[in-house]
A and B are shown apart, each in its own frame.
Chain A
Amino acid sequence: MKKFFLVLIVLLVLFLSACSGNTSSQPEAGELTHIRLPMGYIPNVQYAPFYTAVEKGFFTEEGIELEFDYSYETDGVALVGANELQFSVVSGEQVPIARAEGLPIVYVMAWYEKYPVAVISMTDQNIHIPEDLAGKRVGLPGLFGANYVGLRALLGAGNLQESDLTLDSIGFNQVEILASGTDEAVVGYIANEPVQLKAQGYDIDVILVADYLDLVSNGIITNEITLSENPALVQRMVSAILKGIQYAVENPEEAFEICKIYVEGLEDADQEVQMEVLRESIKLYQTDPYGYSHPDAWANMQDVLIRMELMKKEINLEDAYTNDFSR
């Protein structure tokens, strides 16, 4: 019995220490602020601006010591919402969804201008516009996340319902599933799956969601507490990343070389393919002006999410994002 209570006490102490809240504080002069940044995906050349910003010292210049965290996107959002972390890299649709559930997160910088999701098919399927998807079997990682939102936006643009086609949840196996002919089209990221398929010699057609609807895309979030108590930290973080984006855009080859420090196996991977992934990613970046997210893209995103019933109620979008820190 004594042991039982001892275990209970230990568990309670662990719980209480876990919820003790944000431990970061303002740095003293010369001291770097340690930031753990959830990236939402595995190490990849697509993160070239972040790797470049670290290696070029842009974060250090802003008094930040950055640690990459490759956990799930939704975990990053939840931790920022709970003020356990200050920042995270997220896809745009996560912000309205999370805010509708009460997570006080705020989008402070656009990284991508264009929503990167696309429908990919073999050329013999003749899928060129969203309407062509009617009656087709389409594979996507799952009925959640950016791929699903992008597909639904595209269906809306083509006046199609989900019931007009067959959806298969295939995990992140789009290349293999399309190549094996299991599905007639797949949903993926424009900078990834199409590049991989072309490199393997397949003739493909791509429908990019961003060509039909402007949706808010990948960017950086913080939370309302950090925004109100430490706006200078937000500004420093955004500035460092923007410098990284600019540098990667202007020096893609050097950025690619820098990626090799962070992406295990990149040295031995097909250099042309990986460089192409980076080039395609750079085409999506928000560069004019850097970091700006358009109000129309937010309104479109909210409309799509409500139509999909991923949000039960409208939120005040002005609370969900700010362009104050971009330039």
Chain B
Amino acid sequence: MNDLLDIVKKIGFFLFSIILGWLLWLGFTTFSDIPSFIFPGPKDVWDKFLSVLNNGSLFFHTMITLQEVLLGLILGLGTAIVTGYFLAKSRLVERVLAPYIVASQSIPVVAIAPLLVIWLGPGILSKILTSALIVFFPVLVNTIVGLRSVPEELYDLMKSLQASPWQRIFKLEIPAAMPVFLGGLRIGATLAVIGAVVGEFVAADKGLGFLVNVGRGLYDTSLVFVAVFTLVILAIGLYGSVVFLESRVLSWQKKNGDHSTSVRR
């Protein structure tokens, strides 16, 4: 009963927050003399949303961006996990690669995105790579932290049980590192959207970033708002998916009393 009440409360606050935001937006655009090409009202944006939804262009551009984001996420995750594993396991590898990895993170993706277009061409690949680049670092760091947080005594336990290297990875390291890794994935999932859009801003003829550019070029600020809101929903959707994944993957952790380093049986 209490759980149900909690859910109703949460939904209530969420709706209240949305309605309050909508009212403030409506009030601001109605009572100020600011023109709609600078700051459109909710009705202008809603009408534009329906228009691009009905003609199919919103769906088309959203699917393009989603494709870039998911492929970028997969590439970024894969690279970060493999690199992170070796960095966590070998101080030597860490010492050799760390300067490059840290230096690469000090370069804004937006600065190298035009170069990626030159190197990889103007197609989808450059957008996937900008997305992967931005995902890479947080996932890498969390993978390393997750793996290094496994207590030594658990390794000793695995050794005493004569576990094979694969058993050690799958029965100890992956479950133990998972909570921290998923924390990195949460950040990475939302950053992947930013990465793809940065790529689209530089050079694209499709995708939500392109739609923002078109809206700006035509002084159609409502279209910019629609594209931006869609990007927000996309990012929230991805974040929610990771949270859901977390609740499923880490359900064993709760059952075991929230000991993040418990060995999975």
Which A residues lie at the B interface, using CB under 8 A? Answer: 8, 12, 15-16, 19, 21, 72, 74, 77-78, 81-82, 97-98, 101-103, 139, 141-145, 167-173, 176-177, 180, 182, 310
Contacts and interface: CB of A to CB of B under 8 A. Distances in A.
Instruction: Tell me the interface secondary structure of chain A in the complex.
Output: mixed
A17 to B, nearest CB: 11
B150 interface: no
A142 B218 contact: no
A145 B218 CA distance: 9
Interface string B186-227: 000000000000000011110000100110111110000000
A19 B219 contact: no
Query: Which among A8, A72, A102, A171 has the highest number of chain B CB atoms within 10 Å?
Result: A171
Given A74-B219, A97-B219, A15 B205 contact: no
Nearest to A102: B37
Nearest to B216: A74
A84 to B, nearest CB: 8
Given A16-B32, A19-B34, 13 more contacts: A8-B24, A12-B28, A19-B38, A82-B35, A82-B37, A102-B36, A102-B37, A103-B35, A143-B205, A167-B205, A176-B118, A177-B118, A177-B122
Instruction: Tell me the interface secondary structure of chain B in the complex.
Output: loop
A101 B121 CA distance: 34
Contacts of A81: 35, 37, 219
B156 interface: no
Query: Which among A16, A21, A142, A145 has the highest number of chain B CB atoms within 10 Å?
Result: A142
Contacts of A173: 114, 117-118, 203
A21 B33 contact: yes
Contact of A142 (B33, B114, B210): B210
Contact of B204 (A169, A182, A310): A169
Contacts of B219: 74, 77-78, 81, 97-98, 101, 103
Which 7 A-B residue pairings sit nearest by Cβ, starting from the closest?
A144-B217, A171-B203, A101-B219, A169-B205, A19-B34, A176-B118, A168-B122
Nearest to A81: B37
A78 B217 contact: no
A154 B213 CA distance: 23
Contacts of A77: 219
Nearest to A145: B217
How many B residues are at the interface, by size bracket?
20 to 34
A82 B122 contact: no
B141 to A, nearest CB: 30
Given A139-B122, A141-B203, A82 B218 contact: no
Contacts of B204: 142, 169
Contacts of B202: 171
A171 B37 contact: no
B35 A102 contact: yes
Query: Which among A97, A144, A177 has the highest number of chain B CB atoms within 10 Å?
Result: A144
A82 B39 CA distance: 11
Contacts of A143: 205, 210, 214
Given A19-B34, A141-B203, A171 B217 contact: no
Interface in B1-44: 24, 28, 32-39
B213 to A, nearest CB: 6
Contacts of A141: 203
18 contacts: A12-B28, A15-B32, A78-B37, A78-B38, A82-B37, A97-B219, A101-B218, A102-B36, A103-B35, A139-B122, A141-B203, A142-B203, A144-B213, A144-B216, A167-B205, A170-B117, A173-B114, A176-B118
Nearest to A16: B32
Contact of A170 (B37, B122, B213, B214): B122
Contacts of B118: 173, 176-177, 180
A132 to B, nearest CB: 22
Nearest to A177: B118
A192 to B, nearest CB: 16
A244 B205 CA distance: 38
Query: Which among A78, A139, A169 has the highest number of chain B CB atoms within 10 Å?
Result: A169
Contact of B28 (A15, A78, A103): A15
Contacts of B35: 81-82, 102-103
Nearest to B219: A101
Contacts of B114: 171-173
Contacts of A102: 35-37
A315 B147 CA distance: 65
A66 B164 CA distance: 74
